[in-house]
Amino acid sequence: MLTRRVLALSAFALPLATTAHAQAPEPWRKADRLYTDEFTQGLANWIVEAEKPSFAKAENGVLELDAPAGLTAWFKPRLQGPLLVEYQAQAVYDGGRNDRISDLNAFWMATDVRSPDDLFASPRSGAFADYDLLKTYYVGQGGNYNSTTRLRRYVGRAGDRPMLPQHDLKGARALLQPNRWVAVQLVAYDGLIQYWADGRKLFELIDQDPYRSGWLGLRTTWSRLRFRDFAVWRLAAA
């Protein structure tokens, strides 16, 4: 079931910086919950783009994506920042043909340069290159056979997926563990962009020209993922 509350949004101007102190308190806090999906009513709130025939279902409190190639499940509502998206995710490994432990990925604040006001007016095949025309934030956790975790800020140009050197992590603490639920948080707080996993901030980007609204996509390729406890929150100043 999808739940929505319509609320006034607040903004908070951030100073420009390149690095935040790990011990510093965050400038944002959760204010109001805007959406939830309990994953009991099927895929009514999602649009799935799959490169090859794939399996997607939402029932009994879990969204499952089982894909032999690229797949993105888009949450239908357009989201307006400042916001936080959170969910728990699990990379499944129990003998299935697509159980690879790889690519717990997400797009957020995504728009397509071909149709900025309607992401779904410009359909994509599910192949990764089809997403180059997005303006979006993207994290691929456990990509490349669970060897890398990366943050990118897409700029809407084919073949151009910018990434800063410090946003390419290879340490084990940033990678996936089989059959273990990980709590993910995606932050878009004006120009402050963050990715959290199990309470650890893996990435922070101060964006001087931030993407302030857009769509959320849960993404994988050749993998089986499960999701639960999905919610979108409005953020306010701490």
Q: Is residue 198 part of a domain?
A: yes
Q: Is residue 63 part of a domain?
A: yes
The string of DSSP codes covering the chain is -EEE-------------S---TTSPPSEEEEEEEEEE-S-STTTTEEEEESS--EEEEETTEEEEEEEEEEEEEESSPEESSEEEEEEEEE--SS-TT-----EEEEEEEEETTBTT-GGGS---S-GGGGGGEEEEEEEEEHHHHTEEEEEEEES-TT-----GGGEE-SGGGS--TT-EEEEEEEEETTEEEEEETTEEEEEEE-SS---EEEEEEEEEEEEEEEEEEEEEEEEE-
Q: Is residue 20 part of a domain?
A: no
**Residue 131 belongs to domain spanning:** 47-229
The tens digit of pLDDT for each residue in 58-112 reads 999 999 999 999 999 999 999 999 999 999 999 999 999 999 999 999 999 999 9
Residue 2 has a pLDDT of 58
The tens digit of pLDDT for each residue in 159-182 reads 999 999 999 999 999 999 999 999
Mean pLDDT for 132-141 is 98
Q: Looking at the predicted structure, is the pLDDT value of residue 13 above 50?
A: no
Q: Is residue 140 part of a domain?
A: yes
Q: Is residue 138 part of a domain?
A: yes
pLDDT tier, 1 (very low <50, low <70, confident <90, very high otherwise): low
Q: Tokens for 113, please give them.
A: 């340069």
Average pLDDT, the chain: 92
Q: Is residue 139 part of a domain?
A: yes
Domain count, the chain: 1
Residue 98 has a pLDDT of 98
CATH of the domain at 205: 2.60.120.560
Q: Looking at the predicted structure, is the pLDDT value of residue 6 above 80?
A: no
Q: Is residue 5 part of a domain?
A: no
Residue 5 has a pLDDT of 42
pLDDT tier, 24 (very low <50, low <70, confident <90, very high otherwise): confident
142 versus 20: the higher-pLDDT residue is 142
Q: Looking at the predicted structure, is the pLDDT value of residue 210 above 80?
A: yes
Q: Is residue 7 part of a domain?
A: no
pLDDT tier, 19 (very low <50, low <70, confident <90, very high otherwise): very low
